[in-house]
Amino acid sequence: MCPSGTSSGRSDVAADFRQAFEALDADHDGKISPDDLRKFYSGAGDADEDTIGSMIAVADLNRNGFVEYEEFERVLSGGRRRSTGIMEEVFKTMDKDGDGRLSHADLKSYMHLAGFSISDEEVAAMIRFGGGDESDGVCYEGLLKILAVDNIF
């Protein structure tokens, strides 16, 4: 699903956060664990144990070793600067060749890994929505537009 870029309120943002959380919660137990992150990043690039530990530490506000939804939402909505850092890491993971752009293949592969069934036409629409085109893909700012992250702060 590609957000429309227009948010009618906090509930739309919460729904977007919920979808992102569910994509990361690989075992669907209601919390993101280091194992969930290992599984999520296994097909999209290398995330070493230090990186995974850092990701958990940033969001695990109650220090129980897991990231519950409320913690996840708080980190993403806690301020543009903090969430931008997280989103930059997501972008780097998605950008398999490191060229600073997400190609059609990058987006389709990552959406598939996140558990979303998506057609080539839907990926092309996402790229267009993000201000890119099929030959060049989409830049970091375009990804933020696709995810409507730049519109929620």
Tens of pLDDT, residue by residue over 121-131, are 989 988 998 89
C-alpha closest to that of 114 among 52, 30, 21:
21
CATH for 8-78 is 1.10.238.10
Which of the pair, 83 or 47, is modelled with greater confidence?
A: 47
The pLDDT assigned to 85 comes to 65
**The domains spanning 8-78 and 80-153 adopt the same CATH topology:** yes
Q: Domain 80-153's class? A: mainly alpha
Dihedral sign (CA 54, 59, 61, 67): negative
Does the pLDDT value for residue 10 go beyond 60?
no
Task: Give the mean pLDDT of 45-66.
Answer: 80
Parse the chain into domains and list their residue ranges.
Answer: 8-78, 80-153
